Amino acid sequence: MAAIPSTAPALSQDAPQGARRTLRKVLWGAQILLAVFLFAGSALPKFAGQADAVRTFEEIGWGQWFRYVTGAVEAAGAVGLVVPRLAGLAAAGLVGLMAGAVATQLLVLDAPWAALPAAFAVLFAVIAWDRRAGSRDLLRSLVSPRR
């Protein structure tokens, strides 16, 4: 069977350096925008007790403590996205958060709105994939720190 040529995005290691550098800048720009949205548009309203956030978490039925936990995870993820050493792991964690948001939208809230966290999950997965080498290095340094 003949090998099928790769149609992977230009973020692969085989991409020319200039194209890879440009796509990396675009990805960092997306990370910054996502971080601003997560922090200012999602976490802060949860912490401030915005009426929509309070009502949504009442509908979910887990109590308002869950609103604060969710806001804290979003805020931590937003910070992690803009710290180069943490970006990959933050993005991976945010994929999990978005999976929970998709499930909550589908099962408890308003199913059509599940598309938004699903789209965010895809973006976070791309970021996590591109930053996987840095994540691997960070995890290795935590497991066996250099002396």
Whole-angstrom distance, CA of residue 115 vs CA of residue 117: 6
Helix axis angle, 65-81 to 87-107, nearest 10°: 140
Residue 147 lies in a domain: no
What total of structural domains would you count in the chain? 1
Contact (Cβ atoms closer than 8 angstroms) between residue 14 and residue 6: yes
Residue 117 lies in a domain: yes
Give this prediction's pTM: 0.80
Residue 53 lies in a domain: yes
Give the tokens for residue 58: 């009442």
Whole-angstrom distance, CA of residue 115 vs CA of residue 122: 11
Structural domain that includes position 86 = 35-142
Residue 7 lies in a domain: no
What pLDDT, on the 0 to 100 scale, is given for residue 9? Answer: 45
- What pLDDT digit, counting tens, does each position of 20-69 carry? 888 888 999 999 999 999 999 999 999 999 999 999 999 999 999 999 99
Residue 9 lies in a domain: no
- What pLDDT digit, counting tens, does each position of 101-134 carry? 999 999 999 899 999 999 999 999 999 999 998 8
